[in-house]
Structure 1
Amino acid sequence: MKRNVQVLLLLFTGVGLLHIALLTDLYLRYVRPGLRPALIASGVVLILLGAVGAARDGFPFNRPRPDGGHGPGHDRGDGDGHGHGDGPRIAWLLYVPALTILFLAPPALGSYTASRDEAKPPSAGDSLFPALPARGVVDMSLNDFSSRAVWDTSRTLKGHTVRLTGFVTPGRDGIWYVSRLAISCCAADAQVRKVRVHGAAAPPADAWVSVTGTWHPTGELGTDGASPALDADTVARVPAPKDPYNDTVVTRR
């Protein structure tokens, strides 16, 4: 029985990885796009290992051996009064994550994570911030806006209408933020980017929105006391992106 659990777990996990990485874009909820080949390779290897294990044990599993044995999954008595050792029943719980990936992929990180992690001020960088377009609404990433709102002593945000896209993170006393999570490798190393929104009611938590407005200066620029904030003119619901951790701006026309 224990051997059966191991073999089936390998097969289910391998199929689950191929499902999210090869047939869908669900893997983007957990890792960067560049890791897709590694996930596909891992899924193939797990399926091959499971197939080899199944072939070695025969079908059905634990069929009697020619020498009268019962195979590796059938233990002999070990002195505790039981002649059969099926392994701990809790081993079946190992199927939960494998089947979850296959049939019910968990969502990407959202407001729960963002509300519990403090947004670290982005680096000031080594060069001056370039000027923004003189006319029209400027689409900006939350990282770029946050950097300028905290470190840009030249105030290049002043007088410009900007548009930020992210998910809603509720705060205390009616405060809310438009947020993004950035990853270096996978969701485990996610870093929070949050911009406080003034002048608009908060949409539901985790809703993806596009917020158009103007910079709301907060704190002393060039210090950690400054924080990114926006006076909202409009807040529009938008579909969640396929890659929720990619904050790259796509210019609108």
Structure 2
Amino acid sequence: MIRLKDIQPLPKRESSEDEIATLQEQIFILQKESYDKQIGHIFLLEGWSSSGRGELLKALTVRLDPRKFKVYSPFVHKSEDRGYPFLWNFWQYLPRFGESLFYLNTYYGRLIYLLAFEGLDPKEYSHRMLSILNTERILTRDKIRFHKFFLHISEKELSKRIEKSRKEKRDWELSDIDKDQSKHYHKYRKRFEVVLNESNTASSSWEIIPCDDVASAKIYLLKCIIERMEAELKIDSAKELSLLAKGGELLP
């Protein structure tokens, strides 16, 4: 069972460019292997609105072949067209076999928004959650792999980041969701826990990424993705990188 209040922050560390670069090369190798084996990947980066997902996404994708991945970031606070199903706004973009899709905002975030701001009733919530789980299950059976990451920050760190934006006169960066999450941290944490536990399946599980320290979070996230993709692709990317390094630099 996922309990966010039990998640401890990662030890602070200096950002090691060499270590990050090595991990990024490994992910590039895994991207190429996925393309060769025609296995698609969907990466969901969900979490607190001030968790630094943009910076983490950059660290994750900067070395990838841009022809083989897309980033999609729909507005979770935008009401979906009533003429379409709940997931329509999200499933307009799906990866081809062998390619990757990164959701910077996800349908889980949309659920949280509806619960917080529009009073989504339990019956409708259950219906939408079932739609999500069924869709993920269908795609998983068709050579698409889900990698779900929840970017978690402590109440103290969230307040610190909100206050920093205000002191630096960057209030315009703060959305209503940022402010509401900071004001009602415990209420949101409970909502997140409910959604995470109900959608934490064997074929599509969540990994919690502690993000109080961004430098540590980058390395932790990259390592988690490498571990997941290596298990799926049956490949040792560190070994492959070592072999390639002996023969010359990796080509894009």
TM bucket normalised to smaller: under 0.3
Higher relative strand content: 1
Q: Which has the larger radius of gyration?
A: 1
Q: Which has the higher contact order (CA 8 A, sep 6+)?
A: 2
